[in-house]
Structure 1
Amino acid sequence: MTINKVHHLNCGTFASLLVGTLVSHVLLCETSDGLVLVDSGIGILDIESPRRLGRAALLLRPRLRREETAAYQVAALGYSTSDIRHIVATHLDYDHIGGASDFPAARVHTTAVELRTARTQRSLPDRFRYRRSHVEALTHIETYDGVGEKLLGFTGAHPINGVRDMWLVPLPGHTAGHAGVALRVGGRRWLFHAGDAFFDHHAIGPTDQPRTLRIRKVSAMEGLLAAEHNKVERNHARLRDLAHTKSASVSVFCSHDPVMLGELQRCAQGSLPGC
């Protein structure tokens, strides 16, 4: 399954009073043998029954629009939900895996650590972030563990079984089993979906930039949600290096930054110079 084209979708808007608008950046990848999603955003069942998301999610004021679900947007592009063959998850938080229920035939790929943590939910934060209805709905799952291979300066990357030119790259910090997803489009252009390894584009920008009130608020929220605080800043530094490396052209982006989503959507449409 060679990746031929990538659509950048918003599969869940949050109108947060604390940090402003947040999005749920999902990739829809067209391949030579069906479609692949990177994350799945908020699903139709979540729209119909918001309590599935939990109180913590509702505090962030999700807009819960059916037209923002991956299933709706896949259909709008002329595809069927059965065309989704794989869902590669950066992690299993409600806003990243809720939409998987809309694609029951798809195989979900995640790290072994992430699936184990989501199923056991031993800590109180785990019970807020992982929704049992979401996790229990994952019936076709493939997990990755072990040494892996080197990729883009990272070690431990795992090629996704059944999808050519896509890797799961462990980036623990936000959750214990969190990972980024690296993919090569048309055998040339690199995209790196960093999930929640950072929350705002300023995190991987110049280190001497002014810290506005919003940046400080986003940073505070990121720290509050992190499972392993000591690894968050390390991930920022590693992804900053990757985004600015001269040896390879890589677009590095996260799940919730509307600025990054907008830029990549315009780039995919050919309306942004330099893409």
Structure 2
Amino acid sequence: MRVHHLDCGPMRPFGGSLLDGGPGGPARAAALCCHVLLVESPDGLVLVDTGMSRGDLANPPGTLGRQFRMVARPLANPAHAAVEQIRGLGLDPAEVAHVLLTHMDLDHAGGLPDFPKATVHVLGDEFRAATARRTVAEKARYVPAQWAHQPAWRLHEPTGGDTWFGFDAVAPAAGLPDGFALVPLVGHTRGHAGIAVESDGGWLLHAGDAYFHHGALEPEPSVPPLLRVFEARMQTLGEQRRHNQARLRELVAAHGDEVTVFSAHDQTELDRLRAH
């Protein structure tokens, strides 16, 4: 399956080297992305995450809210929305039949309104957390307006029966071809998942927000200090998050020639994948 790597919500928060590890001081804006996959499957187009919607990028603050705008500083340009990038590739956004979400944070599910006819796949625990919004943190991170159009949901419950490179996995049915799997990677949220895609060049694992910086997967992890603080602040289940990061490091060490792992907001990873 052919896969396109899109940035559907470039962000420029202040923090410089404290956020992305690059040169310069904290006053410099860091370059963060919203890494979205567009998959040309035998049965139509599939999105992995959506990034931000066209409406949110055209009319700030939109559903993203003023606080998110002030902190993340997304670039207000509707051309970055997945729906516009799909058109730019000469494809029809109406042919996006399925969306697989790593989780339902506002910068991952924000583009759902642009694909109202798509079936949306997510782990059941994530859907229940996002719709119940029981804690103060969950009220902030989940925005019901992003799914007010009442999409067709397909909830997936891990049963322990399926595995993917040693990880528990859920192979989504509902019209999707082989070559996709939801891989529970809880911690950042209660129902966070990685999305595995078997591309023309081998397996890809979109790890969402299971980690934020490529240095987290090195044998001796090295993550910019502000991102370490941000990861801890945004986590829901800290012990599980750290455990799953360790498992991802083991996956890369043992199967790095078969699986390419990347996160949602690391610009370096996105640039590397686009260069191949």
Moved segments of 4+, more than 3 Å? none
Corresponding residue number in structure 1 for 2:45: 35
> How far has the Cα of 1:240 moved from its partner?
0.8
Cα deviation, 1:145-186, whole Å, max 9, x if unaligned, reads 13141111102x111222221000111100001000011124
Alignment check: 8 A CA contact 1:118 1:135 kept: no
Between the aligned partners of 2:132 and 2:78, the Cα distance in structure 1 is: 30
Alignment check: 8 A CA contact 1:54 1:131 kept: no
> How far has the Cα of 1:31 moved from its partner?
1.0
Secondary structure at 1:41 match in 2: coil
Which residue of 129, 134, 146 maps to 2:146? 134
> How far has the Cα of 1:247 moved from its partner?
8.0
The letter of the residue matching 1:191 is L
Assess, with a 3 A threshold, how the Cα gap between structure 1 residues 246 and 193 changes in structure 2: closer, same or farther.
closer
The reply to whether residue 90 of structure 1 matches residue 83 of structure 2 is no
The letter of the residue matching 1:60 is A
The letter of the residue matching 1:198 is Y
Secondary structure at 1:73 match in 2: helix
Does 74-83 or 132-141 show the bigger shift?
Answer: 132-141
Which residue of 177, 187, 205 maps to 2:218? 205
Alignment check: 8 A CA contact 1:108 1:138 kept: no
Which residue of 146, 151, 166 maps to 2:180? 166
Between the aligned partners of 2:62 and 2:212, the Cα distance in structure 1 is: 24
Q: Percent identity?
A: 36
Q: State TM-score, norm by structure 2.
A: 0.89
Corresponding residue number in structure 2 for 1:271: none
The reply to whether residue 55 of structure 1 matches residue 66 of structure 2 is yes
Alignment check: 8 A CA contact 1:86 1:107 kept: yes
The letter of the residue matching 2:74 is P
> How far has the Cα of 1:246 moved from its partner?
4.3
Q: State TM-score, norm by structure 1.
A: 0.90
Alignment check: 8 A CA contact 1:93 1:130 kept: yes
Between the aligned partners of 2:180 and 2:208, the Cα distance in structure 1 is: 15
RMSD: 1.5
Alignment check: 8 A CA contact 2:118 2:151 kept: no
The reply to whether residue 152 of structure 1 matches residue 188 of structure 2 is no
> Structure 1 unaligned runs (5+)?
268-275
Between the aligned partners of 1:247 and 1:139, the Cα distance in structure 2 is: 36
Between the aligned partners of 2:134 and 2:86, the Cα distance in structure 1 is: 35
The reply to whether residue 78 of structure 1 matches residue 87 of structure 2 is no
Between the aligned partners of 1:146 and 1:33, the Cα distance in structure 2 is: 24
Alignment check: 8 A CA contact 2:32 2:267 kept: yes
> How far has the Cα of 1:64 moved from its partner?
2.2
Assess, with a 3 A threshold, how the Cα gap between structure 1 residues 53 and 208 changes in structure 2: closer, same or farther.
closer
> How far has the Cα of 1:125 moved from its partner?
0.5
> How far has the Cα of 1:139 moved from its partner?
1.8
The letter of the residue matching 2:194 is G
Corresponding residue number in structure 1 for 2:14: 17
Between the aligned partners of 1:238 and 1:41, the Cα distance in structure 2 is: 26
Alignment check: 8 A CA contact 2:40 2:46 kept: yes
Assess, with a 3 A threshold, how the Cα gap between structure 1 residues 225 and 246 changes in structure 2: closer, same or farther.
closer
Corresponding residue number in structure 1 for 2:193: 179
Corresponding residue number in structure 2 for 1:273: none
> How far has the Cα of 1:55 moved from its partner?
3.3
Alignment check: 8 A CA contact 1:92 1:135 kept: no
Alignment check: 8 A CA contact 1:54 1:128 kept: no
Between the aligned partners of 2:220 and 2:149, the Cα distance in structure 1 is: 41
